[in-house]
A and B are shown apart, each in its own frame.
Chain A
Amino acid sequence: MSNMKTALLTRTLVVTSLLSLAFSVADDRGLDIARKAKNADAGFTSYEVETKMVLTNKNGQSTTNLLTNKTLEVKGDGERSLISFNSPKDVSGTKTLTYTHRTGDDDQWIFLPSVARVKRLASANKSGPFMGSEFAFEDLTSFEVEKFDFKFLREEVVGGQKIALVEMVPKDLKSGYSRKITHYNLDKNYRVEKVDYFDRKGSPLKTLIFEGYKLYLDKYWKADKLSMVNLQNGKRTELIFSGYKFKTSLSAKDLTEESLKN
């Protein structure tokens, strides 16, 4: 009797641990893909790019903003980036500086040219829209593996290429998303083809599609165009990139509070 009990218990334990092992393998695969994607992007040192942001409302009327982005890779931490606003003209000369961190709050400063003032900002609004677009602030900061929990969903073949779908749950409760599903292209060095965003209630919110991928420095896949469509309000924002320059003379000295004033 006692032997049977022990056998049953042993069997249950074995099955449970096998199951959990299977699950943890699945979880690890999600994390593993995200890490590989992050590594595929690593080592660029710095890049500069001109960005055209086209905002279209559900009536088809559009507005265009022009930005310049300078980004520096930081070893062991998130990226540092400086965004200069060129259009709309009333905010021309405004600049923002963001230090993304792997853990904890990001640091952010803004330069207001009309009063020649640099202000340090509270890092409160992650989920709010950037300049009225369908991109939230959190969509535009660098991707850090430490900020999410991962779950591998499945592998699909799209247009003859292997695509892995990984679910990511933001660890930060201030995020506007309950989860997002990232579509990684396993045949193209883990570049992202698509992201599905789900709101806090779990409903589909936005879809981001990456188009016009080009290979830079024989290593880095960069899309020419990012299209974000809001499934709930019908609005759309396109980010169109031009003039990518990698490994520029950009250094940490060019991305400081002091440098914002010039």
Chain B
Amino acid sequence: MKAIPLVLVVAWSYSAFAQPDSTKWQTERSLELEIEHQYFPTSGSFPGQLDHFTSGAIRPRWSTRSPDKKHQIVLDAFLRGSLNDPLRSHFDFREAYYRYNNRKWALSVGAKKVFWGVTESVHLVDIINQADQVEAFDGSEKLGQPMVQFTTSTSLGSFEFYYLPIARRRQFPGSHGRYRFPEVLAREDVPFTTSSNEWHPSAAARWYNTFNKLDVGLSYFYGVAREPMYLGFDPTIGLDLTYPIIHQIGLDAQYTAGALMLKVEAINRLSERQDFVALAIGLEYTFGNIFGTGADVGVVSEYLYDSRGVLTFSGLDNDVFIGSRINLNDVRGTSFLLGSIIDLERTTRLFRFEGSRRFKGNWKVDLLVSVLIDVSEEEILFNFRQDDMVQLRISKFL
């Protein structure tokens, strides 16, 4: 296992001599170095939790394509080292796959990242990859998923078929970490309901097509749930969390009419002990070149429903999201994201600000502020009630 990063580094440096040419393999490589500091102004809910966290990340990417473009190899690795929370230090192959491209179909073997869906505040239908929970508590970062993927485009739309031999489990923060539960959960502490190891296959299929201004997708997943099933909290045994076998059907659709986009995602997830539906429906409107400044301002509003109620793992069971995305369209690629999620039944409110811009050509700075206000003690999010965060990242791209 230790040899893998070494092989990657050797492959990466070797490719530096490759030249793009129509008769040679076309190779691309990049390296991203990042330092991050997180500050939590309020002291934690549980003993041992720290207020300051410093970490660094390295992300080498390497890809090559044959002259006839039929063969393709992609490697995308990620390593984070945390000075304060050993469980946040981790290595992952986000992607490491071989792809064969035919004219009409393609076959990929290896670890990949796959995204399904259209909405902004939640990603209900998106189910192939496990969340990298220690990287981002909101599930926006993903672990690479080993798979065999077959994709084909036909006159009836695009089809994707997946065989997923391994189910990966989430890593939760360590005892010093934030966004954790009263008990410190090792990866193995959340069990699979059917077998004791990761080798439980799952299968999935998706169809999507475009009908002029309307994009529609239908998906089906059978196998090990990516999101733990939460069935309550017992003071003696702690959180009841497991990864059950599920059937999930998903629908996503987007209608684009000029500056207006209407979006919907809906799922039905069925397991032995739980059967629920979830819905996200909303709109996005973009004001282009606002007041002649060149900036775009997008306004997003979405309604989120989940029939699990207080057992909803994300806490978003009857909530409204209102957000805005601002792109200055300047040389530095400056952008801002503002968002707020308001619980319609309880007191919980979430607020988020993201800002990013380039500097000195290949550097980038990202600021994230995340605030949780009046979190209801009925929700699983109550564990994170003290975890308001300011996060600064500085990245260098090579």
Contact = CB atoms under 8 A, between A and B. Distances in A.
A10 interface: no
Contacts of A57: 331
Given A122-B260, A253-B103, A258-B153, A90 B295 contact: no
Contact of B332 (A107, A128, A132, A262): A132
Contacts of B158: 256-258
Interface string B94-111: 000001010110100000
Interface residues of B, number: 48
A55 interface: yes
B260 A90 contact: no
Interface string B110-150: 00111100100000000000000000000010000000000
Contact of B333 (A91, A92, A253): A91
Contacts of B330: 129, 132
Contact of B395 (A63, A90, A125): A90
B248 interface: no
Nearest to B209: A257
B233 interface: no
A132 B333 contact: yes
Instruction: Pick the most buried of B72, B288, B361, B364: most chain A CB atoms within 10 A of its CB.
Output: B288
Interface in A105-145: 105, 107, 115-133
B398 A132 contact: no
Contacts of B210: 257
Nearest to B153: A258
Interface stretch (B47-55, B161-169, B183-191, B251-259): B251-259
B188 to A, nearest CB: 28
B287 interface: yes
B261 interface: yes
A88 interface: yes
A63 B329 contact: no
B333 A126 contact: no
B333 A90 contact: yes
Interface string B270-312: 0000000000000011111100101110100000000000000
B215 interface: yes
Contact of A117 (B104, B115, B329, B397): B115
Contacts of B261: 120, 122
B259 A122 contact: yes
A237 to B, nearest CB: 10
A176 interface: yes
Interface string A242-260: 0000000000010011100
Contact of B258 (A105, A131, A256): A105
A105 B286 CA distance: 14
B286 A90 contact: no
A200 B292 CA distance: 10
Contacts of B72: 262
A11 interface: no
A128 B115 contact: no
B151 interface: yes
B43 interface: no
Nearest to B328: A132
Contact of A88 (B101, B284, B362): B362
A130 B158 CA distance: 31
Contacts of A121: 256, 286
B103 A124 contact: no
B397 A88 contact: yes
Contacts of A117: 115
B30 interface: yes
B128 to A, nearest CB: 10
A174 interface: yes
Contacts of B260: 122
A46 to B, nearest CB: 15
A89 interface: yes
A132 B30 contact: no
B331 A55 contact: yes
A116 B115 contact: yes
Contact of A128 (B112, B208, B298, B329): B329
B288 A127 contact: yes
> Which 9 A-B residue pairs are closest in the complex by CB-CB distance?
A125-B288, A89-B397, A132-B331, A124-B259, A124-B288, A128-B289, A117-B115, A116-B113, A124-B286
19 contacts: A55-B331, A57-B331, A88-B358, A90-B397, A115-B113, A115-B115, A116-B112, A122-B256, A124-B258, A125-B286, A125-B296, A128-B288, A128-B295, A129-B294, A131-B331, A132-B331, A132-B332, A174-B288, A253-B103
Given A122-B259, A124-B286, A125-B288, 18 more contacts: A88-B358, A88-B397, A89-B362, A90-B364, A118-B115, A121-B286, A122-B285, A124-B258, A124-B288, A128-B294, A128-B296, A132-B329, A132-B333, A176-B289, A253-B103, A257-B208, A257-B210, A258-B151
